[in-house]
Structure formats: C-alpha cells, structure tokens
Structure 1
Amino acid sequence: MKKILLVTSILSCLSCLKLNAQEIKRAQNVFIELGGQGLTFTANYDSRFGNRRDGLGGRAGIGYFAVDGDKITTIPLSLNYLLGKGNKFFEIGLGATIATINIQSGDDFLFKDGSSNGVLGTMSFAYRVQPIDSGFSFRAGITPIFNKDNFIPYFGGISLGYTF
C-alpha cells in the first residue's frame, strides 16, 4: 500500500511540473528603424533561428527616403546574436545593405566611384528591449557602416516595433 501511495504521489508531482512548464517560442519582431543598418527609414522583420528568445537570428528590411530630388532605397540584410535574459538584450550583428542612391544636390558620400548603387557592410552593437510574450519593443545602438571607400564608425539607429 505504501508503494502504491508513493508511486501515485510521484506521478502527481511530475504531472504538475509538466503543467507549469512554459513552452519557449522563438522571438519574431516587426519594427521601423530610423538610421541604423538600413541607413534611412526602414521597415524590418527580425526572427531567432531556434525556439529561443535569445541567440542567433536574422533580419531583413526595406527602406526609402526622398527629399528635394535626392532619393535612396535600401535593403538591409543581417545576422545578429542576442545576449541577455528576460526582456533585455545586447545585440551584436553583421550584415550588408544594398543601396540605390540618386543624389541631385551634391556628392554621394557613400560611393566615391560615382556609382549610384552598391553594397555597404554594416555592424550592429545595440541595446534591445523585447517583451517575453508579446508587445512593443525598443532598440537603440551604434551601427558602423563601411565599404571600400568609407568607414563611418559612429552611425547609429533607433527602432520601435512589436514582438510576437
């Protein structure tokens, strides 16, 4: 009788533990960014590759900005890694931004060879707050950009979005 009671108690405890365990799902984020790896104003999607809130992930976006006849279209693509716990993370990233630039009012400071399009290398060192379940997210950081002609180490960006 004691053995049956012991086995029943253990099974009851194990089933309670299973009920309390939360399923961890990968973080997905849609956001708008000013500056950053997209250079101007971009709409982006970011996701982790595994069923985690941190770790390795990637992002893709598209941006467009026009003023006084000057136009720039960008497509930022990057890999990033999130370090942290809870809802606060440090982001480290490396990527490329495809850019098409049409400057009417002066020199194009990104592509010195006179081309109107090209690829820029990008890095990301950012602080990110994203909720554990779902809700609004925030990101701000330094995003150095570079190509064969330039290195701009103190370029930055800020973003607001929604994590689900």
Structure 2
Amino acid sequence: MRSISTFVLLLLINSTIVAQQIESSENNEAIKSPKNSIYVEFAGNGISYSLNYDYRIKEKIVARLGANYAPTLVAPGVGVLTHGSYLFGKEDEFFELGAGLLYVFSEEPALVPFVDNSGSIEGGILTGTIGYRYQSAKRPVLFKASLTPFYSFFADRMFISAGLSIGYTF
C-alpha cells in the first residue's frame, strides 16, 4: 500500500511540475510584431495621399506596395509605389531607412517643383524614407512619420517632403 501511495504522490508532483513548465514557457515566449500592414499615408512617398500594404520579409526588412492619388492642385494623376525599408530598433519603436520608385501617370501639368510643368507626366520618381515607425506587437496599430526625399528622372530635379501614416497591422 505504501508503494502505491508513493507512486501516486510522485505522479501528482510530476504533473504539477510539467504544467508549470508549460505555462511559464508560454509566458516567456517572445511576442513578434505582425508581418502585414495596411495604412494610409498623407504626403510622404505617395506625394499626396496613398494607400499602402507592407510585408515584413524578415524582422527588420520591409517590402511595400502602394497606390497614390494626387488631386488637381498638387500633381493631378495616379501612381504606383514599390519600396523597401530596413528597420533599426527593438520591440515597438524603429528608425526606418528605405528607398523606392514611384511611377506616376497624369494627363495634366503638375504644380510641384520636381516635375516638368510643360505637359502630361508619365515616369519614375526615385523616393526615400528617413523616419520613425511605431508598430506594436500587442496592438494592431501602425504609425509612421518621415522625411521623404524625391528625385524625378523626367524633370531631373530633387525635392524633400514629409509624411504621416496611420494604419492596421495583422
């Protein structure tokens, strides 16, 4: 009888230890930032307004695809943005450094300094990102504030702007 009691007691103790180990390993597991983001950007790489999707290829490397709309007063037309960034930092706050290409289409002349105002626009604009990125692993929020330098191939001009982004991560 004593050996059965000892066996049951050891079994109960072992079950408790294993359960506590599983629970503690779940709590200590690192929470990773979501890989996908959808956001709107005001000014910035999309010139005026843009809708963007980005994907974190690795923890610090981000690929981005965006579409922009520019109202008549800025640069009437639409564009497509491809962009890559590298993130410096830890957890939720990052310094973002990146470059990309904005391809724009417009039938009317633009009123911004980095395009040729002589007629319709179709061509590439090299763009960069130097900025702050907040992307929480615990909340589905993305916020970005950045300086965005541009170089227009078709007008051979440079221009620097700034942008703000807000969106959803998943």
Structure number with greater Rg is 2
Aligned to 2:51, which of 43, 67, 80? 43
Aligned to 1:81, which of 64, 86, 98? 86
Aligned AA for 2:124? Answer: V
Write the distance in 1 (CA, Å) between the matches of 2:20 and 2:110: 72
CA contact (8 A) 1:39 1:74 kept: no
Aligned to 1:30, which of 35, 38, 43? 38
Q: Please give the residue correspondences for 1:120-131 in structure 2 after superposition, counting only pairs within 5 Å.
A: 120-131=125-136
Cα distance change of structure 1 residues 121 and 107 upon mapping to structure 2, 3 Å threshold: closer
Identify, as 1 or 2, the structure richer in helix.
2
In the TM superposition, what is the alpha-carbon distance from 1:26 to its structure 2 partner? 4.0
Aligned AA for 1:77? Answer: T
In the TM superposition, what is the alpha-carbon distance from 1:25 to its structure 2 partner? 5.3
In the TM superposition, what is the alpha-carbon distance from 1:114 to its structure 2 partner? 5.1
Structure 1: stretches of 5+ with no match in the other structure:
none
Provide, for residues 9-61 of structure 1, a one-character-per-residue CA deviation record: whole Å limited to 9, x for no partner.
986665344322245354321110111111110010111003x3xx0011111
Cα distance change of structure 1 residues 59 and 155 upon mapping to structure 2, 3 Å threshold: same
Aligned to 1:140, which of 134, 142, 145? 145
Aligned match of 1:99: 104
Provide, for residues 71-97 of structure 1, a one-character-per-residue CA deviation record: whole Å limited to 9, x for no partner.
220111100011111211110001000
Aligned AA for 1:15? Answer: I
Aligned to 1:60, which of 31, 46, 65? 65
Write the distance in 2 (CA, Å) between the matches of 1:136 and 1:26: 10
Aligned to 1:158, which of 128, 141, 164? 164
Cα distance change of structure 1 residues 105 and 24 upon mapping to structure 2, 3 Å threshold: closer
User: Across the two proteins, how many residue pairs are aligned to each other?
Assistant: 157
In the TM superposition, what is the alpha-carbon distance from 1:137 to its structure 2 partner? 2.0
Write the distance in 1 (CA, Å) between the matches of 2:89 and 2:23: 29
Cα distance change of structure 1 residues 16 and 163 upon mapping to structure 2, 3 Å threshold: same
Write the distance in 1 (CA, Å) between the matches of 2:132 and 2:113: 30
